[in-house]
Copies of this chain bind each other. A is one copy, B any other.
Amino acid sequence: MLINQSMNTATLNITASASVLAPSADLSSLTVVKVGGAEGIDLDAFCADAANVILAGTPLVIVHGGSHQTNVLSDALGHPPRFITSPSGHTSRRTDRRTLEIFQMACRGVLNQQIVERLQRHGVNAVGLSGMDGRTWEGQRKSAVRAVVNGRTVVIRDDFTGTVESVNTGLLRTLLNSELTPVLSPPAISAAPDHEPINVDADRAAAMTAVALGSDHLLLLSNVPGLLRAFPDESSLIPLVSRAELASAAAIAQGRMKKKILGAEEALAGGVARITIADARVSTPVSLALAGRGTVID
């Protein structure tokens, strides 16, 4: 109250009108949900279910990537997608400046606004953001990226990739408190003074966001039912992974799942109580993941 009392009149008016919009924003159940943009994911079903969850009282921060859409657009624009594998076995998109621009078109221009449009249609007042907006995701652009090509490690210097190092939660909290639902996607922004867009892994960025917002629960939804003991055999789903079992889970994980397990590790280390890796290809993906379907890590 001390701070409110010290505000000038102009600020007071605005603050009052913001709180009229949101007299009772209760963020105690705030959940961060990352959804993939891969083929097979029904965006309509995801958004309808997310809207139901939000309207029933669980505020969500929705995070998405745009890998599939970027691949399609890259091909259409004659700049085919390329991927690189790091010496530690992680795969990421080769992101030159043109790729970054195409990524922003696909991610920010298409998928982000498709999610916002659908949430609005279901009665949720959504706001699309990239990590650059409000400097929400701040990180460091890698000066050199190491990639394994034909068994040899090469160094790439014009790549616009990096890792989120800090989440500035001011904008997200302001929106959530006004009962607005943030829909957030890469790129992130590199630190001052350069402030360039950087492609970051959306699973790990979602994990960082859950940590920064003090969220108890992180959902990582994609086109697999969870962590599989024998990928791609979906009947080999591991329903529960304890903190102590995470290292062996990381050893089992294949491809994109490696980043999800890494994100889960970072989220747990940062105080998030539970991470659920679950299927986005079902009719109510958010509700089912909240209820514990998938691989629960805690």
Given that A24-B8, A106-B105, A189-B117 are contacting pairs, would A177 and B14 also be in contact in the complex, using a CB cutoff of 8 Å? yes
- Which chain B residues border A177 with CB–CB below 8 Å? 11, 14-15, 18
Given that A113-B108, A120-B189, A128-B130 are contacting pairs, would A15 and B12 also be in contact in the complex, using a CB cutoff of 8 Å? no
From 205 to 242 in chain A, residues with beta carbon under 8 angstroms from any chain B beta carbon are none
Do the beta carbons of A174 and B19 come within 8 Å of each other?
no
- Which chain B residues border A112 with CB–CB below 8 Å? 108
- Which chain B residues border A76 with CB–CB below 8 Å? 77
Do the beta carbons of B19 and A117 come within 8 Å of each other?
no
- Which chain B residues border A117 with CB–CB below 8 Å? 132, 189, 195-197
Contact for A25 among B10, B104, B171, CB less than 8 A = B10
> Quick check: is A1 within 8 A (CB to CB) of the other chain?
yes
Contact for A197 among B113, B180, B193, CB less than 8 A = B113
> Quick check: is A244 within 8 A (CB to CB) of the other chain?
no
- Which chain B residues border A60 with CB–CB below 8 Å? none
Contact for A170 among B4, B21, B189, B194, CB less than 8 A = B21
> Quick check: is A175 within 8 A (CB to CB) of the other chain?
yes
> Quick check: is A116 within 8 A (CB to CB) of the other chain?
yes
Q: How far is the CA of A77 from the CA of B74 in the complex (A)?
A: 10
Do the beta carbons of B133 and A128 come within 8 Å of each other?
yes
- Which chain B residues border A86 with CB–CB below 8 Å? none
Do the beta carbons of A17 and B108 come within 8 Å of each other?
no
Contact for A15 among B15, B106, B126, B196, CB less than 8 A = B15
> Quick check: is A85 within 8 A (CB to CB) of the other chain?
no
Q: How far is the CB of A22 from chain B (nearest CB, A)?
A: 7
Do the beta carbons of A11 and B22 come within 8 Å of each other?
yes
Do the beta carbons of A134 and B125 come within 8 Å of each other?
yes
> Quick check: is A101 within 8 A (CB to CB) of the other chain?
yes
- The residue on B at minimum CB distance from A11 is B25
- Which chain B residues border A15 with CB–CB below 8 Å? 4, 15, 18-19, 177
Do the beta carbons of B175 and A174 come within 8 Å of each other?
yes
Do the beta carbons of B23 and A10 come within 8 Å of each other?
no
Do the beta carbons of B4 and A127 come within 8 Å of each other?
no
Q: How far is the CB of A252 from chain B (nearest CB, A)?
A: 36
- Which chain B residues border A24 with CB–CB below 8 Å? 7-8, 11
